[in-house]
């Protein structure tokens, strides 16, 4: 069965973006060591899921010339109309039902890119199998949190951790 993986960067104080949604602080990360972990991760997925705000940020700010996930099937959770793009599906329905359906289908792993609303719904429904969280050495002080308050805790078990370029990536599996 396919795994649903949250692969994301967060500040030391748990924010995935500034209050205005900006992730410009990620550009300040100095890469002094070679790191192929993103490429290895990306090779393990064939489907990406994100919210509309995240999609808009990717296509209008981060990657103007080329959609970075062209070779994967993208699902963008939105109720707004959108321009058609090959391999992109704009979905107004339930993120929970979509992920359950995709998990049952044949294929490679599913990457949950963000944003906070998509992540929160899947965490609360216990549908994320693996959390690959990279801690960026910055304290933002405020912003959009990786996780919101929840009624019940989600138990995880760390399966590996590494440090490269001053960033710590820990992989957690759902218990």
Which structural domains are found in the chain, ordered by start? Answer: 4-174 (3.40.430.10)
Would you state the pLDDT for residue 49? 98
Q: Does 115 score more than 90 pLDDT? A: yes
What is the C-alpha to C-alpha distance for residues 140 and 63, in angstroms, rounded to an integer?
A: 24
Give the Cα separation of 22 and 133 in Å (integer): 18
- What is residue 38's predicted lDDT score, i.e. its pLDDT? 87
**Number of residues that this document lists for the chain:** 175
> Which pLDDT belongs to residue 46?
98
Average pLDDT for 124-151: 96
Q: What is the mean pLDDT of residues 3-25?
A: 94
Both tokens assigned to 31: 């890469």
Does 44 score more than 90 pLDDT?
Answer: yes
Question: pLDDT band for position 33 (50/70/90)?
Answer: confident
How far apart are alpha carbons 169 and 87 in whole angstroms? 29
Q: Please compute Rg for the chain using Cα positions.
A: 16
CA 56 to each of CA 44, 52, 71, 128, 133: distance values in angstroms, whole numbers, following the listed order: 24, 6, 18, 23, 22
- 59-63 CB contacts, 8 Å cutoff, 24+ apart: 62/23
Query: Which two three-digit tokens encode residue 43?
Result: 């090779």
Higher-pLDDT residue of 86, 32: 86
Model confidence at 1, pLDDT cuts 50, 70, 90, reads confident
Mean pLDDT of the chain: 93
What integer is the mean pLDDT of 138-157? 96
Q: What is the mean pLDDT of residues 91-119?
A: 97
């Amino acid at each position: 069965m396919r795994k649903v993986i949250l692969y994301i960067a967060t500040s030391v104080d748990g924010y995935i973006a500034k209050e205005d949604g900006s992730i410009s602080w990620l550009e300040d990360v100095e890469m002094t060591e070679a790191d192929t972990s993103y490429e290895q991760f990306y090779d393990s997925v064939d489907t990406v899921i994100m919210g509309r705000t995240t999609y808009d940020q990717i296509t209008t700010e981060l990657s103007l010339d080329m959609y970075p996930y062209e070779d994967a099937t993208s699902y963008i959770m939105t109720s707004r109309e959108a321009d058609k793009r090959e391999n992109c599906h704009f979905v107004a329905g339930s993120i929970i039902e979509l992920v359950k359906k995709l998990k049952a289908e044949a294929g490679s792993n599913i990457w949950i890119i963000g944003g906070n609303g998509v992540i929160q719904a899947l965490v609360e429904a216990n549908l994320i199998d693996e959390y690959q969280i990279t801690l960026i050495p910055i304290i933002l002080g405020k912003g959009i949190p990786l996780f919101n308050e929840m009624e019940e805790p989600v138990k995880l078990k760390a399966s590996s951790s590494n440090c490269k370029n001053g960033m710590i990536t820990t992989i957690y599996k759902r218990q």
